[in-house]
Structure 1
């Protein structure tokens, strides 16, 4: 009790940076995102420059990384709800650290193959399923409801900053020492994430479940909440469509910039990093815009208005034509991150705490499950119609997804997203109802 009271006293100040456990979680997440950003750039560069892989082979890397959401996402949500989140996060960080370390070691020994890159991408994807699901369920336990919006803004903003620094740093490392050396950043950053998460002093209470039911029954509760609630369903369908096209153009982006535009690896990292500064801007203004115009209107502005600039990206050429990617990428990054801040706060307030892990996993299976399909589709299209034409198709899909699923929903008639909490009976499998 004394520990809980101390945490609550810190949170009532409204300054989460003074809350030591949140600060450790924050630092660990930033380190994790930095390492992931370096990997997101260096793995395709290794495939392109070291292994001379085709555009389709390169597209298999993000497909392999996101495939685990389809395979184990639903049961992972049940396991997270049954177990404490922090040990799961620790195990996931440790696994990622060890797996990424095998890439430079194999390269130096002359054993590196495309098969190993795909295996590493898939296994770290498994670790990411558990880390992300546990992290989503853990944050609302660590901070009070009144501080969740601030916490989400800080985490998303810092994650965007870490990603752009990681992209830029990865590009510089690749330029100076080769893409393989860029993988060293991951071993250090995931170690930092592991240490910071391990130093969090807050301990969750054991889950108090009235009975341990079949895993399929518990999965069903999360799926019914997604299917039966108009707001959760709208967000999930939009996320699935949006991630399909986002992953589609991102999976061929390195190939596009290197082979079509003619950039070297260092400039690729710098260009992507500069465009990613939109994420910092989006996180910085998301709460203020949502408070001024309403959270529903803010979602439409950030997810439909700004990402329309994605149509500039396929126009990118060398020289002054690089501005097309900078403006388009900035708009997409700002819109996606700002929308994530609003939707994350909505989910944490709207979903029953005892179902947050299952809901997160159920949504993620649909949201992230389209990502390997998007990556593979883009890879196949690039081989058939060319990389630039594929960029046109996938970029146009970014604002189109919001137009169909968000503008076509009740969201366009409201100022704010609902604040009532969805409820599901945990004693039996009954239909979902919404309490307003």
Structure 2
């Protein structure tokens, strides 16, 4: 994303981008990437409902077991993110995405097969969850890095908007579809729906014809440890990226704990059906669409820092309403949908704004490593958060645990308000050239 420009230069770029904007959708390879990423997001969003419901409804998992399941699925973020970032930066992202899609489809297809053979239990489900989580780490890093290599720099904003819109659409359809499949069919059959979407993603992405150019220096890369260190150095040395990682870590840890309790609270405390659970979770999708639309203009009007802090506070604060609900009354599901809609809208506004800041300060050759490093820092604690949520639910009860985790979630806006992100104005920060350039020279000097 370009650095600050004078008003005259900025307006000319806007006119130039507007003239060139149709070429993004005329690009068949971008359409294939977009379609594949959309199918992948549908598979991931469906799995977020079907796998936990499979554990709770079919296998009778308790709070501790559900927390363990979610922790195992999230553990690859902590274990593999840094390696995945360096690995993707020196390989063709198309190949990485195709292999990840194939592996995830096979892993989820094994669930109904194991159920029919009578060997499906919590241990088998843990293995599937870990494999899907590990391959998702590589896919998520690869598709974000692939956009930078596939489109022109002045098309990144529109490309990101398209990909984020598809993610929002998946948030609408995925949970609702997963919950409906659990209600209409058996949970193991519903879990296999994710495999179908990953196959669709595989078929679309493998048709990309663009001869991907590996970033400079990847043909003779330095040691993997040096590449990982380069991403860590940039994130740690840049105030904006460092604040993004810290605020994300607090949010993701708390959100993992909250969601573990939430997925137990809806069917067991409120006695909602699988379809109702899917409908409630799907309400975040339309909210995310609204958040994506708002993200196009609000930061430039009110300032990036103001939008980030205010939106985070509103998103996290609205979750405090959920523990006050009792029973499956006529207004329970509509109220939960309203809460999830608002949470989705303000969370998406934060996500898109943070993504713009991150891409603006990151050199193109380091996009994969910075994505992976921020994911590592921000989401590395999610397995511990899931375990905490399961422990609190088992020890304190579902309602008290939900209130405690919602309060914990409210710490994220506070961290953001005390960070340099809160002081960002109406313009994006400039690309961090100094630290990245010095490290690039060091890399080329290595034999």
With normalisation by structure 2, the TM-score equals 0.89
Distance in structure 1 (CA, Å) of the matches to 2:138 and 2:102: 12
Gaps of 5+ in 2: 1-15
Partners of 2:248 and 2:121 in 1: CA distance: 33
Select 2:178's aligned residue among 164, 170, 184: 170
Give the aligned partner of residue 219 of structure 1: 228
Distance 1:40 1:277, change over 3 A: same
Matched, 1:148 2:162: no
Contact 1:56–1:376 at 8 Å: present in 2 too? Answer: yes
Kept in 1, the 8 Å contact 2:303–2:426? The answer is yes
1:235 aligned onto 2:235: no
Change (3 A) 1:273 1:192: same
| Higher alpha-carbon deviation: 364-373 or 322-331 | 322-331
Counterpart in the other structure of 1:329: 340
In 2, Cα distance between equivalents of 1:412 and 1:361: 23
What residue number does 2:21 align with?
14
Residues 358-377 of structure 1 aligned to structure 2 (within 5 Å): 358-377=369-388
Asked whether the equivalents of residues 312 and 327 of structure 1 are also in contact (C-alpha less than 8 Å), the reply is no
Q: Show CA shifts across 1:75-132 (max 9, x none).
A: 2211111111110111001100000000011112211011111111111111011111
Aligned 8 A contact 2:149 2:213 in 1: no
Cα drift, residue 382 of structure 1? 0.8
Report what 2:7 is aligned to. none
SS at match of 1:252: helix
Equivalence map 1:303-314=2 (5 Å): 303-314=312-323
The secondary structure found in structure 2 opposite 1:262 is: coil
Per-residue CA shift, 1:369-388, capped at 9, x if unaligned? 11111101111111111111
How far off its partner does 1:302 sit? 2.2
User: Residue 434 of structure 1 aligns with which residue?
Assistant: none
1:408 aligns with 2:408: no
Deviation at 1:324, TM superposition (A): 4.0
Distance 1:303 1:150 in 2: 24
Contact 2:171 2:284 in 1 (8 A): no
User: C-alpha displacement at 1:177, in angstroms?
Assistant: 1.0
TM-score (norm 1): 0.91
- Tell me the equivalent position of 1:357: 368
Cα distance in 2 for partners of 1:416, 1:408 equals 18
Q: Partners of 1:181 and 1:375 in 2: how far apart? A: 25
Alignment of 1:283-302 (within 5 A): 283-302=292-311
1:117 correspondence with 2:125: yes
The residue number in structure 1 matching 2:12 is: none
The partner residue of 2:89 within 81, 96, 120 is 81
Deviation at 1:365, TM superposition (A): 1.0
For residues 149-187 of structure 1, the C-alpha deviation after alignment (integer angstroms, 9 at most, x for no partner) is 222222112212112211111111111112222123212
1:226-245 deviation line (CA, Å, top 9, x unaligned): 11111000011111111111
- Note if 1:63 corresponds to 2:71: yes
- Give every structure 1 segment of 4 or more consecutive aligned residues whose post-TM-superposition deviation is greater than 4 Å: 9-12
Superposed displacement of residue 46, structure 1: 0.8
Report how far residue 10 of structure 1 moved. 11
Tell me if the contact between 2:283 and 2:338 (Cα under 8 Å) persists in the aligned partners: no
Cα distance, 1:147 vs structure 2: 2.1
Q: Residue 300 of structure 2 contacts residue 426 of structure 2 at CA under 8 Å; is this kept in 1?
A: no
Equivalence map 1:18-97=2 (5 Å): 18-97=26-105
Q: Which residue of structure 2 lines up, in the alignment, with residue 432 of structure 1?
A: none
1:128 corresponds to? 136
Q: Deviations over 1:296-337 (max 9, x none)?
A: 322223222333211112222221244442232222211222
